């Protein structure tokens, strides 16, 4: 019997009870099959050396660093549950399915093994031999000897002739290599944390010929992809504790923006009264698709707590807020303004055209609300796809693919 079996079982059930309650608070439901798997798999066996109570916290566990950079981790249980739920919803259950996991921690692979059952299969791959060795050891300790562990760069096919019903990626990707699409069955599903406009979401994408179309998405964050699929996200400091995240080839003059921040701040408000459950990450992508063609650069602002406390900036979310640079002006989505448990949306700007910049940003916020707070839909097509064959929407050209973002309110596509 493994150490702390009784205590670990109790902690495991407490963890899943919290996940179910958190899902309910968000208006979601934890799938029964995912819940059952999470009540079975002993997470502490995939976090060796960690105190039992820490193993069952709803937080990621770093398993390997390179300097200060995290390069491998066991993902937070809430995020694992949401992504497994996306996969199971898209495929109407995972029993009997054949799954390829890209990014090996072991814990997620064991949950997948529970979900696919005896008739299914799970292959997990990672580029780092230390990570795959660790995953294989942990899987064996937990009794999941029938999970296939492969050390390889998943940018290329793992088994060229094999097809999978589901490919689930547990590392942050910037692009979709052809191998991921081509290894799917004809109507298979890819679940991947993909960066678009510098913002990461877990997309569940269904294959249809040579294209992938999203059926669901969740906001998330992951360690970055390594190997041939790596794409550096650059950070530029513009003030003490204030950074711009550049992910789509943007070019900025950091000194000029730093100077703008010393100028008086202009603000504008949308005059709205929105409920707490409003999904503002959907609006952030809406802003990206609407503002990017209108300004010289669309970027993402991030700030350390000290920069917000001191008043240098007041972003909506300090870990990643839409921002623009245009006409000698820097603008960004502001912190929310709350009244009677409802909130209003606003924008702040510094520079010569600050009034116009905040007005433009707020106008697009109102347009999103007026359109019914639509959700984003992602389409991924091969890089050689002609413009005329693309869906209508905002296009991002990446190395292997052309990514198109559209928005779907109740009743149709915008």
Annotated catalytic residue, options 8, 72, 75, 331? 75
What is the rounded CA–CA span in Å between residue 317 and residue 48?
34
Distance in angstroms (rounded) separating the CA atoms of residues 358 and 346: 8
First-to-last alpha carbon distance for the chain, in angstroms, is: 57
Q: Are strands 346-351 and 329-333 parallel, antiparallel or unpaired?
A: antiparallel
CB 228 within 8 A of CB 192: no
* HSE toward the beta carbon, residue 352, CA cutoff 13 A: 4
CB 185 within 8 A of CB 163: yes
Distances (CA, A) of 249 to 27, 246, 308, 398, 410: 37, 7, 27, 10, 34
In the residue annotation, 75 being an active-site residue is answered as: yes
Give the angle 28-115-201 at the CA atoms, nearest 5°. Answer: 45
Residue 143, C-beta contacts closer than 8 angstroms, at least 6 positions apart: none
Contact (CB, 8 A) for 174 and 247: yes
CB 288 within 8 A of CB 201: no
Q: What are phi and psi of 199, to 5 degrees?
A: -120, 135
CB atoms within 10 A of CB 4: 15
> Per the structure block, which two tokens stand in for 401?
């693919």
| Contact present, 110 and 9 (Cβ < 8 Å) | no
Q: Which long-range contacts (CB under 8 A, 24 or more apart) does 329-333 make?
A: 329/260, 329/353, 329/354, 329/356, 329/357, 330/257, 330/260, 330/261, 331/357, 331/358, 331/361, 332/301, 333/284, 333/287, 333/361, 333/365
Active site residues: 75
């Amino acid at each position: 019997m493994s150490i702390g079996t009784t205590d670990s079982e109790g902690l495991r059930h407490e963890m899943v009870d919290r996940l179910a309650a958190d899902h309910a608070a968000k208006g979601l439901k934890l799938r029964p099959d995912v819940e059952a798997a999470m009540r079975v798999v002993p997470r502490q066996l995939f976090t060796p050396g960690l105190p039992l109570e820490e193993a069952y916290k709803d937080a990621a566990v770093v398993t390997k660093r390179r300097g200060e950079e995290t390069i491998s981790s066991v993902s937070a249980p809430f995020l694992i549950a949401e992504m497994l739920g996306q996969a199971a919803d898209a495929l109407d259950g995972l029993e009997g399915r054949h799954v390829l996991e890209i990014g090996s921690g072991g814990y997620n692979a064991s949950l997948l093994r529970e979900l696919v059952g005896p008739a299914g299969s799970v292959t997990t791959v990672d580029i780092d031999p230390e990570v795959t060795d660790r995953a294989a050891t942990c899987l064996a300790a937990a009794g999941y000897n029938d999970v296939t562990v492969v050390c390889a760069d998943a940018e290329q096919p793992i088994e060229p002739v094999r097809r999978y019903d589901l490919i689930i990626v547990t590392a942050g990707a910037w692009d979709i290599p052809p191998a991921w699409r081509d290894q799917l069955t004809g109507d298979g599903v890819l679940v991947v944390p993909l960066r678009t406009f510098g913002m990461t979401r877990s997309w569940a994408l269904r294959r249809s010929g040579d294209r992938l179309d999203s059926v669901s998405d969740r906001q998330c964050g992951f360690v970055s992809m390594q190997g041939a699929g790596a794409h550096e996200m650059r950070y530029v400091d513009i003030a003490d504790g204030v950074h711009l995240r550049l992910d789509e080839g943007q070019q900025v003059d950091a000194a000029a923006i730093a100077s703008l921040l010393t100028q008086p701040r202009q603000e504008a408000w949308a005059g709205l009264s929105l409920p707490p459950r409003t999904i503002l990450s959907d609006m952030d992508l809406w802003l990206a698709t609407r503002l990017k063609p209108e300004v010289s650069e669309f970027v993402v602002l991030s700030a350390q707590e000290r920069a917000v406390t001191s008043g240098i900036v007041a972003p909506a979310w300090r870990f990643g807020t839409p921002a623009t640079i245009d006409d000698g002006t820097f603008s960004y989505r502001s912190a929310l303004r709350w009244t009677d448990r409802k909130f209003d949306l606003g924008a702040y700007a510094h520079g010569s055209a600050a009034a116009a910049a905040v007005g433009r940003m707020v106008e697009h916020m109102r347009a999103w609300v007026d359109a019914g707070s639509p959700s984003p839909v992602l389409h991924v097509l091969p890089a050689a796809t002609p413009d005329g064959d693309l869906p209508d929407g905002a296009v991002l050209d990446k190395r292997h693919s052309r990514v198109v973002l559209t928005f779907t309110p109740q009743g149709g596509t915008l």
